């Protein structure tokens, strides 16, 4: 079985308290990038296995809801991840969240439902995996 390797990143957004945000990100082993052209805006990057599920103490917490609490009013963070497990499968997920906790998501796997709706129930659609 091949290992899953991912590329992750976010858009730039503003947080309420940069010091608290940096401490949170460090515990989750998330890298922060500050936008030099727009001071106060930051982006985040996860690790090669995707967005981290655990913090550095092994505590399981929800990355999306935790990040939402750090966002300034009217800010929307977009988290993107694309990865593959060898040639076995390719995955991609984009999540948008705001400071109130609202979340929307779209996955590459959503294409299967869209294809069924578009091409009908008799269309032969196989999964892009083995």
| Residue 65, in any domain of the structure | yes
| Residue 11, in any domain of the structure | yes
Total domains, the chain: 1
| Residue 90, in any domain of the structure | yes
Q: Are 17 and 70 in contact (CB under 8 A)?
A: yes
| Residue 13, in any domain of the structure | yes
Work out the percent of the chain whose per-residue pLDDT is above 70.
95
17 Cβ neighbours under 8 A, 6+ residues apart: 70
| Residue 124, in any domain of the structure | no
Residue 31, pLDDT > 80, answer yes
Q: Choose among 84, 67, 91, 93: nearest CA to 15.
A: 67
Question: How would residue 6 be classed by pLDDT, with cut points 50, 70 and 90?
Answer: very high
| Residue 50, in any domain of the structure | yes
Q: pLDDT tens, 83-119?
A: 999 888 899 999 999 999 999 999 999 999 999 999 9
| Residue 126, in any domain of the structure | no
Q: pLDDT tens, 69-90?
A: 999 999 999 999 999 998 888 9
Quote the domain boundaries for residue 20. Answer: 4-119
- pLDDT for res 76: 98
| Residue 105, in any domain of the structure | yes
Q: Are 111 and 96 in contact (CB under 8 A)?
A: no
């Amino acid at each position: 079985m091949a290992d899953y390797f991912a590329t992750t990143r976010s858009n730039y957004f503003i947080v309420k308290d940069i010091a608290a945000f940096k401490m949170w990100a460090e515990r989750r082993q998330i890298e922060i990038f500050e936008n030099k052209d727009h001071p106060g805006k930051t982006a985040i990057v996860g690790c090669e296995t995707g967005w981290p599920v655990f913090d550095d103490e092994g505590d399981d917490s929800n990355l999306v809801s935790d990040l939402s609490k750090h966002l300034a009013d009217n800010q929307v963070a977009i988290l993107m991840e694309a990865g593959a497990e060898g040639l076995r499968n390719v995955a991609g997920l984009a999540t948008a969240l705001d400071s109130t906790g609202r979340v929307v998501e779209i996955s590459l796997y959503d294409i299967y439902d869209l294809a069924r709706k578009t091409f009908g129930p008799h269309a032969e659609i196989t999964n892009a995996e083995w």
